[in-house]
Amino acid sequence: MLSKRSTSVSFIGILAAFCLMCLLGISGCQGPIIPGQNTLNPFPQVHLTSSNLQSKILLNEPIVSRVGDGQLDVVIPVRNVTASELYLEFQYSFLNAQGAQVEATSGWNTLRVPTNSMAQIHFTSLTAAANFDCTIRQLP
């Protein structure tokens, strides 16, 4: 037979656990989830031309290194998250430390990204640029 004391301790424990679960549930809510939101693209140098494209590809962090006489070498990994092959175009430009363009903007380059696979955008500056800017769009 349970004593009154053990029953009240059990009830208080259950009540405390329930309150804790409610608090944890409320603290996890941070607003609505936006469909097609790409939280893996926080890279300010890379611009996608449409939100539709944002739901089709994921970008990994650009890999930037120096080569030769200090030229900037950039690799941007692109993952196709759709069940169909994608054809993308990209163009890029290079900037100095103040953000001014130091080389002419490239023409549009084509990139084929197979179904549910990865590909890489790769380009190198002609000078010792400080930063880059890249725009990606989908071919129709």
| E-assigned strand segments in 23-139 | 46-48, 57-59, 63-67, 71-80, 86-95, 109-113, 118-124, 131-138
Residues near 129 by beta carbon (within 8 Å), at least 6 away in sequence: 71, 72, 94, 95, 96, 102, 103
The pLDDT tens digits for 53-76 are 989 999 999 999 999 999 999 999
Q: CA-to-CA distance for 38 and 87, rounded, in angstroms?
A: 19
The domain made up of 46-138 has a fold known as Immunoglobulin-like (2.60.40)
HSE-up (13 A, CA, CB side) for residue 140: 0
The residue ranges of every structural domain in the chain are 46-138
The pLDDT tens digits for 84-137 are 999 999 999 999 999 999 999 999 999 999 999 999 999 999 999 999 999 999
